[in-house]
Amino acid sequence: MMSVLEQRHIVECAFLPLVCSCSIDGSESVTIQIRDPVTAQVYLNVSGISRADLSTSRQISQLVMQLRQDLHMLNSGTVKRHA
C-alpha cells in the first residue's frame, strides 16, 4: 500500500489550481475538501472514504475522476440556477 504522504500528494495535486485538503484520521478514514483558492469557499467535502480503497494509483484515479464529475455536476447546477 502507498504511504499516507503519497496518497495525500496525489489526491491534492489532482485538483490544482483549486485547493484540495486530504486528511486521514486514526481509523484510516479519509476526508477530502476542495475549495476555491481565492475565496476559500468549499465546493466539495467528502468524508468516510476508506484509506484501503486508495491503495493503488488506479483506485486513486477513479476517486479523482468521480470527485471531478461531482464538482462538474455541482457547478452545472449552480449555473442553471443563475440562468
What is the domain extent for residue 51?
4-78
Answer whether residue 78 shows pLDDT above 80.
no
Q: Which residues contact 71 (CB under 8 A, 6 or more apart)?
A: 34, 43, 44
Q: What is the pTM of this model?
A: 0.81
Task: Return the CATH number at 67.
Answer: 3.30.160
Residue pair 51/32 in contact by the 8 Å Cβ criterion: no
| pLDDT averaged over every residue in the chain | 87
Q: What is the pLDDT of residue 79?
A: 45
> Could you read off the pLDDT of 31-67 as tens digits, one per residue?
999 999 999 999 999 999 999 989 898 999 999 999 9
Grid coordinates belonging to 35: 475549495
Structural domain includes residue 83: no
Answer whether residue 15 shows pLDDT above 80.
yes
**How many structural domains comprise the chain?**
1
Structural domain includes residue 51: yes
Mean pLDDT to the nearest integer, 9-38? 93
